[in-house]
Amino acid sequence: MSPLPASAALALGDDALVLSHRLGEWAGYAPVLEEELALANISLDLLGQARILLSLVGDEDELAYLREERAFRNLQLVEQPRGDFAHTIARQLYFSSYQRLLYEELARGDDALAELASKAVKEVAYHRDHAEHWTLRLGDGTAESHQRMQQGLNALWRYTDEVFEPIEGLSVDWPTLRERWTEQIAHVLQQATLTMPSGPQGDAWTAGGGRQGVHTEPFGRMLAEMQHLHRSHPGAAW
């Protein structure tokens, strides 16, 4: 078994941790109780993945609660504010489609990540199913739900370029992954009567830099909220 580079575990672990926190923000605010629990379940799945991945790098609590913003290696996509429900579903569709393709590929490998990936891929498949079902219903629902869903997809599109930036230490065929991702998203959006966003891709400017520790403004505020308890009361426990 080849050892997993810390940089890769950190990138994937931070993605899971940060998105988990963003989804957790729906607690008490989701449109219906049933949906609140669905989002909380997805959030907890991601938190479980984050704990395992960060533990491969070091102390999970220190990494989650005591790092500064620039030390996080997550995608800018996952740190964006939750927005309205359609916005959250748009992000879930983009991210879970990517995560599923990535973890399926990692599960075939032979490093420390393969075992985690083969377990996580089942969770992620459900996340994707959840996002797809909601995309279909919002896109093909009322005029307002259609408009909000399209807005969410358009607003987050600029963060999807970074998703396919190679992660150091992972042997993944990124261009093929991106191609399959684009096909899948296009298929869902077409069924949902939504329009595939077009925007900066390739050589044009896109948002990015999360993997290098460059983050967007909302991320600092999110971290302040996520870390303040641990920083105010070090070692606090239930």
Partner 1 sequence: MSTTDWPLWEVFVRSRRGLSHTHAGSLHAPDAAMALRNARDLYTRRSEGISIWVVPSTEITASSPDEKDSFFDPAADKPYRHPTFYEIPEGVRHL
Interface residues toward partner 1, by CB under 8 A:
31-35, 37-38, 41, 129-130, 133, 137
Can you tell me the distance from the alpha carbon of 21 to that of 15, in angstroms, rounded to the nearest whole number? 10
CB of 127 to partner 1, least distance (A): 11
d(CA 228, CA 132): 35
CB atoms under 10 Å from CB of 182, counted, come to: 15
- Minimum CB–partner distance for residue 22 and partner 1 (Å): 18
Our CB check for partner 1 shows the closer of 104 and 140 to be 140
CA gap 215, 170 in Å, rounded: 22
Burial class (CB in 10 A: 0-12, 13-18, 19+), 89: buried
Instruction: Transcribe 130-193 into DSSP letters.
Output: HHHHHHHHHHTS-HHHHHHHHHHHHHHHTTSSGGGSPPTT----HHHHHHHHHHHHHHHHHHTT
Distance CA 204, CA 189 (A): 24
Minimum gap (Å) between residue 166 Cβ and partner 1: 34
Closest approach, Cβ 129 to partner 1, in A, equals 7
Nearest distance in Å: CB 35, partner 1:
8
| Min separation Cβ 30 and partner 1, Å | 10
Q: Which is nearer to partner 1, 14 or 45 (CB)?
A: 45
User: What is the Rg, in whole angstroms, of the alpha carbon atoms belonging to the chain?
Assistant: 17
In the complex with partner 1, the residue whose CB is nearer, 37 or 71, is: 37
State which residue, 100 or 211, has the beta carbon closest to partner 1. Answer: 100
CB of 143 to partner 1, least distance (A): 14
Q: How far is CA 81 from the centre of its chain?
A: 12
Q: Which is nearer to partner 1, 137 or 146 (CB)?
A: 137
Quick one: residue 193, left, alpha or beta (phi over 0 = left, psi -120 to 50 = alpha)?
Answer: left
Minimum CB distance to partner 1 smaller for 2 or for 191: 191
Q: Which is nearer to partner 1, 73 or 100 (CB)?
A: 100
Residue 215: name the closest of 75, 25, 16 by CA: 75
Structure tokens at 58: 């070091």
